[in-house]
Structure 1
Amino acid sequence: MRLIAHLLPLLLVAVLPALAKDDTTKDDKKTTSATDGILTLDGTLTSSISEATVPTGHYLSYTSTITLDNGHTVTSTGTGAESTVTSSSSSNGTTTSGNATMVSTSSESLTLLVGGGHTGAANGSTNATATASTSASSTPVVNTQPCNGYTEFCSRKYSNITMVAAHNSPFVKAGNAAANQAFPVTDQLDDGVRMLQFQVHLINSTLYLCHTTCDLLNVGTLEDYLTTVTKWIKTHPYDVVTILMGNYDYVAPGNFTTPIQNSGLMDYVFTPPKIPMALDDWPTVSNMILSGKRAVIFMDYQANQTAYPWLMDEFSQLWETPFSPTDSDFPCTEQRPPNLSQQDAEDRMYMANHNLNIDVSIASISLLLPNTAALNQTNAVSGYGSLGLMAQNCTAMWNRPPNFLLVDYYNDGNFNGSVFEVAAEMNNVTYSAKCCGTASAASNLMPGVSTMGALLVMAGVQFLVSSAF
């Protein structure tokens, strides 16, 4: 049976044209039926997301703030994980707090990083071009060193920036329907992606990066991926990178410490001064850069910040719009965590899920796969279903732009780099970089026209593997 499981993808690829021709459309559903002589596929592609595809892990809830001392350990917890107290922690750089100018002597290329507040507003939000603090008797301080690509970001709080996030960042594999990106993580970071999101699965005591199941798409170990990310962070000292890990199997957080330490990432991990971090609790980007703690790590489920303060619980500090949407309307309503109050939603960061999917149900298997055929509009700057329109709607609804724009195939859109243009508009800065990726990596992009055939291939593989074991 294992041999058949390995040979089946090759057999199915040979009959892709026949499979694609058997598609029929009726109303908002597509009924598929195809036979390759070995396996018959029958199923329905629906336009609405199945309840079974939305994660339902345990959500933490805090009523006050847990204090961390300078050693980043919990010193006061009130009544435990459900309570909190204000606190602070020291930073490891040559900085001062508040609105003061931050001067670094650690690098000749870094002249000044301006810390503090901001002025102006964009689209009714607080994301606006920042200015240096000045005095009447001195020359205005001008920062010339970009932070996360823009000098304006240096004086802004981490929670006051809109960042492009790569949905399922590691899942890059040509011709695989479960892939979500065209270019590897180094190219993603070079192009301006600043949040890396992905699923992690525990197999035989090792954490692997897999999409839904490791029989469908397995791109290697978490440790190897984080090693690559750490090398990039090490050579880009003026950038802050956010990592959002999906704990797919709901395993204990202690399983994540070894790969993070072995990758070298631990040297750069940011530990928050409070648990949880409210919107205004975050330091400025320049503060994080000067402290050297430039990797922010979130985990969606099973985080235990009293044991691992740096492995931050996502949903007590950040909320999301509807998960893996199949609706081109892309509503800006809060979905996870459920039942969040208006006040709590306004007091924390939020991520807009803008990766359009097809909900595939074949042979009793439910899969969410990227709708690659619609990428030019989904990742566009304007128009119905576009990233730009969604960001504008969210900004109007919440009086501030999303902190993270989660997208598939970030390089695609109505032009190369359109997702970064949207983020720049939200940040009130000018996007002038070139995008995207390298020529050698360009072949990884799966054309939208092959989506249906690839869906059937992957569904067939998953069905046989599940049946074989």
Structure 2
Amino acid sequence: MRWSLLALAVGALAKDNDETTTDTITSASSTITGSSASLNWSDASTITNGSVYVPSGTYLTYTSVVTLGNGDHSTVVSSSLSGNATTTGNQTILTTSSNSLTVLVGSGGTTTISNNSMNATATHASTSSTPTQTNTTPCNGYSEFCMRNYSNITNVAAHNSPFVVPGNAASNQALGVTDQLNDGIRMLQFQTHNKSGEIHLCHTSCDILDAGTLEAYLTKVYQWMLKNPYNVVTFMMGNGDYLPPSAFVDPIEKSGLKSLIYTPTKVPMTLDDWPTLSEMILHNQRAVFFMDYQANETAVPWIMDEFSQMWETPFSPTNPAFPCTAQRPPGLSRKDALNRMYMANHNLNLQLNFGSLSLLIPNTADMVETNSADVNTSGSLGKMAANCTAKWDRPPNFLLVDYYNYGKPNGSVFEVAAEMNNVTWNGKCCGSKSAAAHMSVASVSTMALVAAGVQFVLSVF
């Protein structure tokens, strides 16, 4: 029992590992060899038999570009285009054999997109110079986003999205995934672990917090996406047990999301390589999957390697100044960083030291200030986003936050994203119920668990 209490109090353990390795990926057409550096995962520590185990992952640097397959898609989603339309549930599917489609986009332009058999390589053929009609259908909540590249939008990301367990200090969110998506979350980040041959969503260890199977969680997201066909959702999978990407194919397919998968045209993807949201929506490729470690895009092209497509600011930060430096992958040059998407980690933690153990737990006490949109508030999301924009000449693509519904005002994380996107937030948030009780219980539980952890550590050392 005392072991479980200590494990629940442990948010992370940070140590350095300078070991280097070499990775080789082989496909039918190419072999890519790159250097990679082994580094600890600072949010995936476990304690076994009184000793600390810190898993480590590798980062691959591609020395050449690989052209990937175009996926399984041959349909277009729409409720207004002409053609042979069929309806499945709440989704309208349009198939066409014509050479082009005319789509209403953005603030009024009419764009023709070449058909190219409806594969992932569709490109703009022409754009009218005179706006003819205003698009009233928003893409990811805003009509202004329809003609923007996927890589040119700032999204709010839910850190450890599935971890919504009242009274459990390992929780990171107060509202479930359906509420998250309804409120405007467009990246879902989570940790996965192997439990008896099934992939579960567990915080550090399934003994600490087990939010159920990956398949069940993704099924909920799929059901939401069917009802909301003009939305692109990104999934950031933490592969805590370093499973091969093939292990994730079955739960993704069984959830239904495989029918909505986006398959990139190549690896790595630079900023200019990403399609517009309207292209992704029209081709029904609206579910974008990334994996932090062990991705192999020549084997499973639609589970993308995170760190060859984007970089991250310091992970599980304890510094309330939230420096906007590139931490992962390590050693990234500014030139390369400027040509990739990036994620700003803005989930503040407390560091506690027990003997030789260094523990990180979520700092719920300062959550309102941490998620604030006020650029003059120290440690606020608004200030970090502004600093990142100034430092890198463009806003972050993803703002990773805990308890997204808290802020100043509640839901102010969406106000920050709207500011970065140069659009106006509607001010609506958050969820179908109040989560104040959950936050209170989580904070009290954290203190109790830390106390129990101290007692346990003292008894061991």
Which category of TM-score, normalised to the shorter sequence, fits these structures? 0.7 to 0.9
User: Relative contact order: is structure 1 or structure 2 higher (C-alpha 8 Å, sep ≥ 6)?
Assistant: 1
Q: 1:456 aligns with which of 444, 450, 453?
A: 450
- Alignment deviations for residues 337-360 of structure 1 (CA, whole Å, 9 cap, x no partner): 001111110111000000001233
Q: Does 1:392 align with 2:386?
A: yes
1: CA distance, partners of 2:309 / 2:273: 11
1: CA distance, partners of 2:453 / 2:442: 17
Q: Does 1:114 align with 2:105?
A: yes
1: CA distance, partners of 2:382 / 2:186: 18
Q: 2:228 aligns with which of 222, 227, 236?
A: 236
- Alignment deviations for residues 354-378 of structure 1 (CA, whole Å, 9 cap, x no partner): 0001233447655432100010110
Identify, as 1 or 2, the structure richer in strand.
Answer: 2
Q: Does 1:347 align with 2:330?
A: no
Q: In the alignment, which residue of structure 2 is the partner of 1:158?
A: 150
Residues 69 and 108 of structure 1: CA distance in aligned 2, closer, same or farther (over 3 Å): closer
Q: Does 1:409 align with 2:409?
A: no
Q: 2:249 aligns with which of 227, 249, 257?
A: 257
Residues 156 and 188 of structure 1: CA distance in aligned 2, closer, same or farther (over 3 Å): same
2: CA distance, partners of 1:282 / 1:462: 50
* Uncovered stretches (5+) of structure 1, i.e. residues with no partner: 10-38, 73-89, 96-101, 119-131
Task: Say if 2:77 and 2:229, in contact at 8 Å, map to a contact too.
Answer: no
Q: Secondary structure at the match of 2:57?
A: coil
Q: In the alignment, which residue of structure 1 is the partner of 2:176?
A: 184
2: CA distance, partners of 1:430 / 1:71: 35
Letter aligned with residue 114 of structure 1: V
Task: Say if 1:171 and 1:180, in contact at 8 Å, map to a contact too.
Answer: yes
Residues 70 and 296 of structure 1: CA distance in aligned 2, closer, same or farther (over 3 Å): closer
Q: In the alignment, which residue of structure 2 is the partner of 1:173?
A: 165
Q: Secondary structure at the match of 1:232?
A: helix
Q: In the alignment, which residue of structure 2 is the partner of 1:438?
A: 432
Q: In the alignment, which residue of structure 2 is the partner of 1:80?
A: none
TM-score between both structures, scaled by the size of structure 1? 0.75
Task: Say if 1:216 and 1:462, in contact at 8 Å, map to a contact too.
Answer: no
2: CA distance, partners of 1:366 / 1:92: 51
1: CA distance, partners of 2:261 / 2:133: 30
Q: Does 1:294 align with 2:286?
A: yes
TM-score between both structures, scaled by the size of structure 2? 0.77
- Alignment deviations for residues 276-314 of structure 1 (CA, whole Å, 9 cap, x no partner): 111110000010011111000000000010000000000
- Alignment deviations for residues 144-183 of structure 1 (CA, whole Å, 9 cap, x no partner): 1000000000010000000000000000111211110000
C-alpha displacement of 1:205: 1.1
2: CA distance, partners of 1:177 / 1:456: 10
Q: Secondary structure at the match of 2:216?
A: helix
Task: Say if 1:328 and 1:385, in contact at 8 Å, map to a contact too.
Answer: yes
Residues 462 and 436 of structure 1: CA distance in aligned 2, closer, same or farther (over 3 Å): farther
Q: What does residue range 30-45 of structure 1 map to in structure 2 within 5 Å?
A: none
Q: Does 1:202 align with 2:194?
A: yes
Q: In the alignment, which residue of structure 1 is the partner of 2:308?
A: 316
* Count of residue correspondences: 392
Residues 345 and 116 of structure 1: CA distance in aligned 2, closer, same or farther (over 3 Å): farther
- Alignment deviations for residues 255-284 of structure 1 (CA, whole Å, 9 cap, x no partner): 111111111111111000111111110000
C-alpha displacement of 1:242: 0.2
Q: In the alignment, which residue of structure 2 is the partner of 1:75?
A: none
Q: Compute the RMSD of aligned alpha carbons.
A: 3.5
Letter aligned with residue 331 of structure 1: P
Q: Secondary structure at the match of 1:252?
A: coil
Q: In the alignment, which residue of structure 1 is the partner of 2:46?
A: none
Q: Secondary structure at the match of 1:393?
A: helix
C-alpha displacement of 1:5: 6.7
Task: Say if 2:219 and 2:257, in contact at 8 Å, map to a contact too.
Answer: yes
Q: Secondary structure at the match of 1:439?
A: coil
Q: In the alignment, which residue of structure 1 is the partner of 2:98?
A: none
Letter aligned with residue 105 of structure 2: V
Residues 156 and 117 of structure 1: CA distance in aligned 2, closer, same or farther (over 3 Å): farther
2: CA distance, partners of 1:409 / 1:248: 22
Letter aligned with residue 326 of structure 1: T
* Uncovered stretches (5+) of structure 2, i.e. residues with no partner: 17-39, 43-54, 86-90, 95-101, 110-125
Q: In the alignment, which residue of structure 1 is the partner of 2:328?
A: 336
C-alpha displacement of 1:44: 12
- Percent identity between the two aligned chains: 57
Task: Say if 2:349 and 2:360, in contact at 8 Å, map to a contact too.
Answer: yes
C-alpha displacement of 1:449: 5.2
1: CA distance, partners of 2:212 / 2:455: 19
